[in-house]
Amino acid sequence: PYLRRPTLVVGSATPVAGAVLSWAPVLGFRTVLVETRKPRLVTGDWRADETVDDLDLLDEMLRGDLYAVLTDHDSPDVVPLLRTIVAHAPRFVGLMGSRRHTAMQLVELRRQGLTQAEIDQIETPVGVDLGGREAAEIALSILASVVARRRGGSGGLLNPGGTPPSEQKGVA
């Protein structure tokens, strides 16, 4: 028997989303791209297992082991998409953007009745601090966080002090 692959929902058709979607299957994820702005879907080369352009259709796709990343904090769908995802108890949910840029969405979620515990599970900014600037570097940072959550890792450095192996105790 085959185990069901975990689902990674990616919100918004952005360059970062494109990189996340291209690497996620290699990491064992089933991918769902959510983008209701239809012109964005037409103009991009999005490789997702499933694409959703209507949030009403999303509920039935959110099953099992669920992870989510929203890559455009300015998308008109951020709040309803987060509400839908949080209702399905994801193992990971991240919203790209600084706290200054995402605070408005978090306040709106609270106004709409989400509990503080539900809001606190939304990681923003999202990703491991790699210092990345390009879309692929940001995607790598985000996927590192997702994999760390999936596998129980800390997401931190394996060698926090940066000590070369030759200087570490017990290394000949």
20 pLDDT above the threshold of 90: yes
Summarised one tens digit per residue, pLDDT across range 96-141 is 999 889 999 999 999 999 999 999 999 999 999 999 999 999 999 9
pLDDT of 152 over the 70 cut: yes
At position 30, the amino acid (one-letter code) is R
Summarised one tens digit per residue, pLDDT across range 38-67 is 888 767 777 899 999 998 888 888 888 999
Q: Is the pLDDT of residue 145 over 60?
A: yes
Provide the whole-model pTM: 0.88
Orientation of helix 99-111 relative to helix 78-86, angle to 10° = 60
**Which token pair is 26?**
């290699």
Q: Residue 3: which residues within 8 A CB-CB, separation 6 or more?
A: none
How does residue 148 score in pLDDT terms, banded at 50, 70 and 90?
very high
